[in-house]
Amino acid sequence: MNTVVAQLQRQFQDYLVSLYQQGFLDNQFTELRKLQDEGTPDFVAEVVSLFFDDCSKLINTMSRSLERPENVDFKQVDSGVHQLKGSSSSVGARRVKNVCISFKECCDVQNREGCLRCLQQVDYEYKMLKTKLQDLFNLEQRILQAGGMIPQVNIS
């Protein structure tokens, strides 16, 4: 039993570190994890799922705005990118945030092609992150089910 927990814990640790290493996450995610305590055991998952919902909504809106080449509402796209940037930065979704930065640059110069490219990228990145975090939370669940503690992972 203990070995299973230890194994899971180790797996969890490695997985989380790999997410940082691959640049999916940054310190802000650590911040987020710090905020989670007994009172709010699902805080991170809640925030993150809210974030993903947000992503999907915003991406839909933006793709509609970018749909027609001759009539792009860059202002609306910009506001979407701004939202997305703020959210991703808040949850520590580093890759998404980085794409948002270039997305914003494209938007500023009203480069529709660039915007579309970034939109695709953002879509890809957030879905990727979603899968990864899903796995992470699953691991967490398994540890907890196995009666273990979520290990503290020191990233820095």
Binding of other proteins by 43 (CB under 8 A): yes
The smaller minimum CB distance to other proteins, of residues 92 and 148, is found at 92
Q: Collapsing DSSP states into helix, strand and coil, what is residue 93?
A: strand
Q: Least distance to other proteins from the beta carbon of 111, Å?
A: 11
Binding of other proteins by 41 (CB under 8 A): no
**Helix orientation angle between 74-91 and 94-108, rounded to the nearest 10 degrees:** 160
Contact by Cβ (8 Å): 96, 126: yes
Contacts of 78 (CB under 8 A, 6+ apart): 104, 107, 108
Which residues does residue 93 pair with via DSSP β-bridges, in sequence order? 25
Binding of other proteins by 47 (CB under 8 A): yes
Binding of other proteins by 50 (CB under 8 A): yes
Q: Least distance to other proteins from the beta carbon of 121, Å?
A: 14
Please pick, from the candidates 7, 10, 11, 27, the single residue that binds other proteins as defined by CB under 8 A: 27
Contact by Cβ (8 Å): 19, 25: yes
The smaller minimum CB distance to other proteins, of residues 20 and 74, is found at 20
**Which among 98, 99, 54 has a CA at the least distance from the CA of 80?**
54
Residue ranges that bind other proteins, judged by CB under 8 A: 17, 20-21, 23, 27-28, 31-32, 34-35, 37, 40, 43, 46-47, 50-51, 54, 79, 82-83, 85-87, 89-92, 98, 101-102, 105, 154-156
